[in-house]
Structure 1
Amino acid sequence: MSSLSPSRPLGIVSAVPLPLIIVAGCIIAMVTFGARSSAGLFLLPITEDLGWSREGFAMALAIQNLVWGIAQPIAGGFADRFGTARTLAVGALIYAAGLFLWSITPSVDLFMLSGGVMMGIGIGTASFGIVMAAFGRAVPAEKRSFVFGIATAASSMGQFLFAPLGQAFISNFGWQTALVLLALIILMVVPLSTMLRGRTHTPPGDADMPFMQALAKALGHGSYRLLVIGFFVCGFHLAFITVHFPAFLVQCGLTPEASSWALGLIGLFNVAGSLLAGWLGDRLPKQILLSVIYFLRAIGTAAFLMLPITEMSAYIYAATLGMLWLATVPLTAGLVSLFFGPRYMGMLYGVAFLSHQIGSFFGVWLGGLSFDLTGSYDLVWYLGILIGLFSAAVHIPIKEGKAPAFNAPPAAVKAI
């Protein structure tokens, strides 16, 4: 017999109205993702000021992405079990501390600790993955993809706002003060997190099991494994472009300001792309939409590299890529929620996101290594095209539907 009583609520045990939950969650997603997405703007001023190699800088941010991925399922499981608010608040404090320590870091080795490990833990514990877990338990299943799209769109708006904001901070105050200002902005998350307080309960019809058993059963589900593999490619694309795209455009003759606006345009256009992906995800097969997104990324990148690179072509590519940028997130989160229900959403989306961040590690690191060895980013651009086509193929066999292992036994459902 299930331990779930008829009076136990599904989702948040809170008096906070749903609109306030969504608004607070979107601001948190915007601030945490926006500050992190401006990291590429610091590559040139820091490496030139301190004499670091691009590979050293890239390795620190690659470690950040990897630690972020490792922290995500742990933080997600903690939020599922003990509550979202305290998870987000602790993460924001660690995140802000990492930014501040980065501002006074004299060497690459210490940067790997502050900007790498500390920021990675902070981002993984206070990012949109935790916000989406809160949204997943607060809204009905048929509306989750769209609400996930709203959270993702807010993250993208953060990238649009923070790219020129971060560049303005650097230009007017220097890179050290810019990092301190970003740290202060991150502290906004602490009071906002109280709006998302609550934890997830097991809904009727879903199996109730220990978290590690749920993880083992999820990894045995073939469609989930394909989804996790495909998400690796998304991380590779996003991290490489976030960190190295501004420097690549400067190398092609654009100004740092134009490069920051190109990065910002990716975020602006992904507001529409994420909302569209979330809306379509409630109406069309999510796995086919994911396949189309990865295919279009590969084709769009190939076209960009084949044509002369100008300020206008960079803006057009940024806008096109923006429509596809984080559009994978509401669809991937929607499939995880569909496979396994909201009870284990934080942890199991976190596991998929770990794959994403392993891809991010290689995207950032190989970008820096390729430039230091060859003086260009060409090899990583071409690799990104090839694995984009691979991911497009991987998503096609995925089947929508509840994973059988996560259905409650008939006797338990009847008892409820």
Structure 2
Amino acid sequence: MTDSSTAPPGLPSLHWGWILLAAAGTFALTMGVRQTMGLFLGSLNSSTGLGLANISLAFAFGQLWWGLTQPFAGALADKLGAGRVLLTGMALVALGTVLTPLMSSTPGLVFAIGVLAAGGAGMAGPAVLMSAASRLIPAARRGLATGIVNAGGSFGQFVMAPLAGALTLGLGWASAMQVMGLLVLLALPAAWVLRGNSAHAATAATKPVSTREAIGTALRTPSYLLLAAGFFVCGFHVAFLATHLPGVVAACGLPLQYSAWALAVLGLFNIVGSLTMGWAVGRWRMKTLLSLVYAARALGVLAFMLAPKSGVVVLVFAGFMGLTFLSTVPPTAGLVAKFFGLGNMATLFGLVMLSHQVGGFLGAWLGGRVFERSGNYDLVWIIDIVLAVGAALIHLPIREAPLRRVAVLAPT
């Protein structure tokens, strides 16, 4: 085996490290910008006077729309090529983020944050990026590759959160947000590196079926449905933390800088969690790893609820949650590939991401609604614990094996 990727016909062969850098770097910029938007929630509320619940609705819609775009973006990438989809997505993220400070109504915020920025991030999100990396990287490195791409999003959050805080102090929140949006355009060269589509994954003996047939087979597969249900819980947890962790820190009576550093620590430890999970995927059963992650989340949230709220406790909690934050992505993507092969992976993983973001919509919206009515987040934490325990249990019946119809469903 060589270190160069199996490049699509007609495209130059690239070392797999460049492919990973392109995919992880794109995810770092798009995810880093999205995951730091919670830092601007209070400023948006003060500037517009719309109320926390209405602004949370825009963020919640963004969580849902990010998921809704991914199956369609995946289908387009499978057919037209990842490069074109990524270019469009990056441009939309930049445009939506730049326009957000100019909006003064709930529909305006929903359009800028929820439709443009979130939709663009979905097009340049994990469904397209992980499918492209899996297609271009040798099979022996795919488990680690998905962990590295996933860690890119965490690294972006780790870097972008303090940067957003510093820009806010120096330029004001509106200009800081617009600068953050423009930074996404630094990932444009990655579209060239990751170009190509799923047809390049096919062998002479197999051919991918239509998108409709692939989706129909997936929706009749119990293990796939259980996997999607677990990812719904992941979305609830991740979106609530990404949107409301600064509010949680403020409710503890801590200074603003703890909010930025809590998000940064969350991202930093997620790098460790993602890389560790990418390494573990090739060594242990993926469904077991997922059950352990969800059980750990439930224990972590329970411990935080019972602990005294200090700066150290908040940062330790952020670090522990970071270890589990997006470490569910490599085994989830790995199971989709194991079930169905690579031919329709972007589409089918995009559908699982849609389930994730339906949960994300509820986590982001419910956090604002509960806090506005009760003045605390206790009810959301309790719901999060119950959901995490349920997710840990429903992964156990998953049958971790390729479907017998894989040979005719999709190429491997």
Give distance in 1, aligned partners of 2:92 and 2:46: 27
Deviates more, 1:53-62 or 1:101-110: 101-110
Equivalent residues in 2 for 1:180-329, closer than 5 Å? 180-201=178-199, 202-204=201-203, 208-329=208-329
SS in 1 for 2:189: helix
Corresponding residue to 2:117 among 109, 116, 119: 119
Q: What displacement does 1:209 show?
A: 1.1
Q: What displacement does 1:128 show?
A: 2.8
SS in 2 for 1:208: coil
- Name the residue aligned to 1:93: 91
Corresponding residue to 1:174 among 172, 192, 197: 172
- Name the residue aligned to 1:5: none
1:345-392 deviations in Å (ceiling 9; x for gaps): 100000000000000000000001101111111110110000000000
1:291-316 deviations in Å (ceiling 9; x for gaps): 00000000011001101010000111
1:222-266 deviations in Å (ceiling 9; x for gaps): 111100010000000000011101111111111111111011101
Give distance in 2, aligned partners of 1:367 and 1:207: 45
Corresponding residue to 1:134 among 132, 135, 138: 132
Q: What displacement does 1:21 show?
A: 1.3
- Name the residue aligned to 1:163: 161
SS in 1 for 2:22: helix
Give distance in 2, aligned partners of 1:266 and 1:90: 29
Give distance in 2, aligned partners of 1:16 and 1:191: 16
Deviates more, 1:285-294 or 1:11-20: 11-20
CA RMSD of aligned residues (A): 1.7
What TM-score does the superposition give when structure 1 sets the normalisation length? 0.94
Q: What displacement does 1:11 show?
A: 6.3
Deviates more, 1:238-247 or 1:48-57: 48-57
Unaligned runs of 5+ in 2: none
Equivalent residues in 2 for 1:368-383, closer than 5 Å? 368-383=368-383
Corresponding residue to 1:34 among 24, 32, 39: 32
Number of equivalent positions: 403
Corresponding residue to 1:15 among 3, 12, 17: 12
Give distance in 2, aligned partners of 1:217 and 1:322: 34
- Name the residue aligned to 1:363: 363
Q: Would the aligned equivalents of 1:95 and 1:121 in 2 still touch at CA under 8 Å?
A: yes
1:185-228 deviations in Å (ceiling 9; x for gaps): 01122222111111112534656311111110111111111000
Deviates more, 1:25-34 or 1:14-23: 14-23
Paired letter, 2:87: A
Q: Percent identity?
A: 37
Equivalent residues in 2 for 1:344-355, closer than 5 Å? 344-355=344-355
Q: What displacement does 1:47 show?
A: 0.8
Give distance in 2, aligned partners of 1:184 and 1:383: 37
Q: What displacement does 1:408 show?
A: 2.9
1:172-192 deviations in Å (ceiling 9; x for gaps): 211110121012101122222
Unaligned runs of 5+ in 1: 1-8
1:61-95 deviations in Å (ceiling 9; x for gaps): 11111111110010011111111111000111111
SS in 2 for 1:408: helix
SS in 2 for 1:177: helix
Paired letter, 1:348: L
User: Aligned in 2, Cα 1:142/1:400: closer, same or farther, shift over 3 Å?
Assistant: farther
Q: Would the aligned equivalents of 2:66 and 2:118 in 1 still touch at CA under 8 Å?
A: yes
Give distance in 2, aligned partners of 1:107 and 1:397: 46
Q: What displacement does 1:142 show?
A: 3.8
SS in 2 for 1:407: helix
Give distance in 2, aligned partners of 1:376 and 1:207: 54
SS in 1 for 2:405: helix
Q: Would the aligned equivalents of 2:209 and 2:408 in 1 still touch at CA under 8 Å?
A: no
User: Aligned in 2, Cα 1:53/1:206: closer, same or farther, shift over 3 Å?
Assistant: farther
User: Aligned in 2, Cα 1:285/1:11: closer, same or farther, shift over 3 Å?
Assistant: farther
Paired letter, 1:113: F
Paired letter, 1:161: V
Paired letter, 1:12: P
Q: Would the aligned equivalents of 2:6 and 2:138 in 1 still touch at CA under 8 Å?
A: no
Paired letter, 1:379: L
Give distance in 1, aligned partners of 2:362 and 2:321: 20
Give distance in 2, aligned partners of 1:206 and 1:123: 32
Give distance in 2, aligned partners of 1:183 and 1:125: 15
Q: Would the aligned equivalents of 1:32 and 1:127 in 2 still touch at CA under 8 Å?
A: yes
Give distance in 2, aligned partners of 1:241 and 1:134: 28
Deviates more, 1:196-205 or 1:179-188: 196-205
- Name the residue aligned to 1:390: 390
- Name the residue aligned to 1:4: none
Give distance in 1, aligned partners of 2:49 and 2:19: 45
Q: Would the aligned equivalents of 1:217 and 1:405 in 2 still touch at CA under 8 Å?
A: no
